[in-house]
Amino acid sequence: MNVLDIRGLTKKFGEFVAVDNMSLTVREGEIFGFLGANGAGKSTTINMVSSLLRPSSGEIRILDRDITKQSRFAKLNLGIVPQDLAIYEDMTAYENVSFFAGLYGLRGTQLKERTEEALEFVGLSDKAKSLPKNFSGGMKRRLNIACAIAHKPKLIIMDEPTVGIDPQSRNYILTSVRNLNESGCTIIYTSHYMEEVEEICSRIAIVDHGKIIAEGTKEQLKSTITDVKDIRIEVKSAQPAAAGVLKAIPGVRTVLQEENVIRIHSDAAVDNLNRILKQLMDDGMEIRSVEEKEPNLETVFLTLTGRNLRD
Amino acid sequence: MWKDIWFLVIRTLRATFRKRSTMILYFGLPIAGILASLLLYGSQGATELRVGVVNGDDGQTIAADTVQFVQGLDHVKVVNVTQQELQDQLAASDLDSGLIIESGYSESVRSGSPDHIAIQSVKGAQVTAYMKSMLYGYIDNVAAMGRISAGNDAKFQQLYDRYRSADFKVTSESVNDTSTTKEMSYQSIGFLLMFMMTSAVSLSELILKNRENRTYFRVLSSPINARTYVMANILMNLIVMLAQIVIVLFFMRVVFRIDPGMPVAQMFGILLLFSLVSVSISLVIVAFSKSTAMAGALSNLIVTPTCLLSGCFFPISIMPDAIRRVSDFLPQNWVLQSIEKLQSGEGFAGVWFNLSILFAFAVVFFLIATYKFGRNNDTRNFV
Ligand SMILES: Nc1ncnc2c1ncn2[C@@H]1O[C@H](COP(=O)(O)OP(=O)(O)O)[C@@H](O)[C@H]1O
Ligand SMILES: [Mg+2]
């Protein structure tokens, strides 16, 4: 069964097209990765799925029912972890979860049990009576997640749930996502960190400028770029002009420079490593290390868009 | 839907009133308003009425007792003067009023038809009204004794002695000063109106605050829709104001024992109507604000000045005509006018017009808020 079906979805803000004729299917039991740079249109898509924004055109179905025609059904089966924290600072962690779960009609002992369960799940049971204003960023994110899962939705959408938090909380969240999935939830996981997406997602869609530019398992995605090699060169005191010169070398497709690290995507079929290194040395740069990396999602993204995911 | 609304109301109230400081803000301040009114009018009542007495009926017990009675009245200070001194000092405002007892006064009272007594003042009726009514009550009583005893000296003396020993104090105490308690209760209501308005605005502001902290959108992604959400906010607002009204009336009537000079139930009804006006105004403020900061600024611009102009802080009668005309457009003034009318003894029928105006205010503001909410860009984008 398809948990989420998006057909020809478009959202315009005035002239600007934030989501452009997008179609997408998420099947039951998946952890679906929604990968894209900032501003790609991920949150806008999610806001339309959660009925917060009205699509300019297109159709959205949750569990095979149209969300505008059966909005209550759609909302009851959906759990949203918003990108921007949506918790009440003046309510305790327990009250926050209990409040949001109550919006879905839970009351009494059931509400109490589900609230405790959700807090337990994100590891905040011992903080149940504390106010979130004393929480760390990671704890707030976890509370944000607890608020979305207490009513046991079929589909949980997490919009960048790991933005700006410590590695420990991040690992905790990634583990929770897997556990949730094992307990039967379908999950859409939105991020612009490809390591995360690569680690937990069974299927991935890459979004750029409101369009899905690639979709599939990570193996499928990587196999589309076997013709590209990913070279990483670390130098001492890189020259700002290095990139332009390197692009002129045959076979080189893209050059990215981050401080003293130069990343080059080049045609796998062309042997040009010597020329590249010579060029750098001629320009007075001292080479510290050279590495040819396995293609990963970032390589895929870079190849498809010519841009780095983090820009 | 009502279950959802109720759920939202309870949870929001619980979170809002968790802090003691909020409790004080919403309920302590209106009570402080009553205290302030007590002080304001308590101290004003203590300013004495200076009465010059010209006693031309020397040596007569009734005349002497009359002077003593006036002296015994609250907030009255008696000085003995001559006729000439009285005129001079009244003119110079050293005295507020004069009591002139002519020779033959005691005899006339005793015979049952009081005469040879006059009250003078330059300030007009208001100042002397209190003393006059007290004094005439006293004279009437003594004159009645004179009529009953019908020339029988012993009998009159008996009645008069009993009256002097017993009723004297009771009279001057029981009549005390209802006009002051009326003013106190009027003033307390004036303050209450302002506190109702400020609390209404800050509770409506929760809509903006929750938009800023994003919880509003999170709520809307649940089965709760925007209309349910706003209705819950309005209901919560009305509940808080209802509590404010009940608490203030309770403290006024039961704790401080201030007699408002009108049925408390009528006061309650008018205030309840005003709570509708108050919510609708707060919704207008919120509808026209993009942020809580802006709503706060708007509310400062609107609430306090209109309360000032409509007589919430001091009686409107001391303000110039132009301002009084402005106050016709302010709902608080219509509340206060109704209360004044009811205090002065007009029946509830006499304030129907005022109440209709208040209701109209509520309706108009609600319509404006609804229209503006509908036109706001962000709510149009958000289903
Ligand atoms: N309410 C809005 N009005 C105008 N433009 C918007 C609005 N919301 C988002 N956008 C624009 O739409 C694009 C996509 O935004 P968003 O969906 O938040 O991206 P992402 O979540 O992938 O980072 C951005 O360029 C953003 O500026
Ligand atoms: Mg986003």
| CA A56 – CA B350 distance, rounded (Å) | 57
Q: What is the pLDDT of residues B208-267, one digit of tens each?
A: 999 999 999 999 999 998 899 999 999 999 999 999 999 999 999 888 888 888 899 999
Indicate the pLDDT class of residue B315, thresholds 50, 70 and 90. confident
Cα A256 to middle of ligand 1, angstroms = 26
User: What is the spatial distance between Cα B113 and Cα B289, in angstroms, rounded to a whole number?
Assistant: 71
Report which of residues B62 and A56 the model is more confident about. Answer: A56
Helices assigned H by DSSP within A161-272 = 167-182, 194-200, 218-223, 242-247
DSSP state of A164: T
Over residues A140-149, mean pLDDT: 96
In angstroms, the CA A156 to CA A144 distance is: 12
- The values of phi and psi at residue A190, to 5°, are -100, 135
Per-residue tokens: B175: 């009549």
Q: With cut-offs at 50, 70 and 90, classify the pLDDT of residue B127.
A: low
Would A149 be classed as within a structural domain? yes
Interface residue A241 vs chain B (CB under 8 A): no
Q: How far is CA A208 from CA A20, A39, A188, A221, B275, in A?
A: 10, 8, 17, 15, 52
- Strand pairing category for B97-101 and B117-121: antiparallel
Residues measured by CB to lie within 5 Å of ligand 2, the ion? A 42-43, 83
Distance from CA of A102 to the nearest CA of B (A): 8
Q: Based on the domain organization, do A86 and A234 belong to the same domain?
A: no
Instruction: Tell me what percent of the residues of chain B surpass a pLDDT of 70.
Output: 90
Closest CA to B332 of B271, B255, B251: B271
Look up the CATH number of the domain holding residue A283. Answer: 3.30.70.100
Mean pLDDT of A7-18: 95
- The total domain count for chain A is 2
For residue A132, what pLDDT is reported? 95
Per-residue confidence (pLDDT) for residue A311, from 0 to 100 = 53
Residue A12 domain flag:
yes
> What is the three-class DSSP state of A208?
strand
Select the residue from B4, B9, B211, B221 to test the A interface by mutation, using most A Cβ atoms within 10 A.
B221
| pLDDT(A77) > 90 | yes
Q: Would you say residue A235 has pLDDT above 60?
A: yes
Asked, for residue A311, whether it belongs to a domain, the answer is no
For ligand 1, say whether the CB of A210 is within 6 Å of any of its atoms: no
For ligand 1, atom 5: residue with the closest CA: A13
Decide: helix, strand or coil at residue A151. coil
The strand order across the sheet containing A228-236 reads: A252-258, A261-267, A228-236, A286-293
Which pLDDT band, with edges at 50, 70 and 90, does A109 fall under?
Answer: very high
Residues of A in contact with B224 (CB under 8 A): 103
pLDDT of B192 higher than 70: yes
Q: Are residues A184 and A266 in the same domain?
A: no
- Cβ of A19 below 6 Å from ligand 1: no
A157 and A105 in one domain? yes
Tell me how far apart the alpha carbons of residues A155 and A203 are, in angstroms, rounded to a whole number.
15
**Which residues of chain A does B221 touch, with a Cβ-Cβ cutoff of 8 Å?**
50-52, 75, 78, 80, 82
Report the alpha-carbon distance of residue B145 to residue A171 in Å, rounded: 100
Q: Is A35 inside any structural domain?
A: yes
Domain boundary among A198, A220, A242: A220
| pLDDT score recorded for residue B116 | 86
- Cβ A95–B223 below 8 Å, yes or no? no
**Domain contains A301:** no
pLDDT value at B381 more than 50 = no
Return the CATH number at A105: 3.40.50.300
Rounded to an integer, what distance in angstroms lies between the CA atom of residue B227 and that of residue B220?
Answer: 10
The whole-number pLDDT of residue B128 equals: 66
Greatest distance between any 2 Cα atoms in chain A:
75
In this structure, the answer to whether residues A161 and A199 fall within a common structural domain is yes
Specify whether A176 is located in the same domain as A233.
no
Given A220, A241, A276, the domain boundary residue is A220
Ordered domains of chain B (ranges, CATH): 2-42+179-381 (no CATH), 49-164 (3.40.1710.10)
My answer on whether A269 and A158 are in the same domain is no
More confident residue, B330 or B259: B330
Lowest mean pLDDT among A22-36, A246-260, B1-15: A246-260
Q: Quote the tokens at residue A256.
A: 């990215």
Pairing state between β B49-55 and B97-101: parallel
- Residue B125's pLDDT band, with cuts at 50, 70 and 90, is very low
More confident site: A281 or B247: B247
- Nearest residue to A155 via CA among A284, A52, A285, A67: A67
With H, G, I as helix, E, B as strand and everything else as coil, classify residue B377. helix
pLDDT at A182 over 60: yes
User: Considering the entire predicted model, what is its pTM?
Assistant: 0.76
Q: What is the mean pLDDT of chain B?
A: 85
| pLDDT given for residue B45 in this prediction | 46
Measured between alpha carbons, how far is A167 from A164 in angstroms, rounded to an integer? 9
Among all ligands shown, which has an atom nearest to the Cα of A41?
A: 1
Nearest C-alpha neighbor of A231 from the set A208, A254, A203: A254
- Cα B173 versus chain centre, distance: 22
Helix, strand and coil in chain A, % to nearest 5? 35, 30, 35
If asked whether residues A95 and A240 sit together in one domain, one would say: no
| Domain end marker among A220, A250, A275 | A220
Q: Say if residue A172 is in the same domain as residue A76.
A: yes
Domain that holds residue A104: 2-220
Mean pLDDT, to the nearest integer, of B156-173?
63
Distance CA(A45)–CA(A39), nearest Å, equals 11
- State how beta strands A286-293 and A78-81 pair: unpaired
A131 reaches B (C-beta below 8 A): no
Whether residue A239 sits in one domain with residue A285: yes
The finding on whether A46 has its CB within 6 A of some atom of ligand 1 is: no
- B57/B106 Cα distance (integer angstroms): 7
Average pLDDT value for residue range A270-278:
88
Give yes or no: residues A236 and A108 share one domain. no
> What token pair was written down for B72?
């015994």
**Residue B298 contacts residue B220 (beta carbons within 8 Å):** no
Looking at the fold, whether A246 and A286 belong to one and the same domain comes out as yes
> What integer pLDDT is reported at residue B46 of this predicted model?
46
Better-scored residue on pLDDT, B51 or B366? B366
Nearest-CA residue of chain A relative to B220?
A52
* Closest-approach residue (CA) in chain A for B217: A52
- Shortest Cα distance, chain A CAs vs residue B231, angstroms: 15
CA distance from start to end of chain A: 37
Cα angle A81, A82, A85; round to 5: 105
Q: Are residues A216 and A86 in the same domain?
A: yes
Contacts of B339 (CB under 8 A, 6+ apart): B186, B189, B260, B262, B267, B270
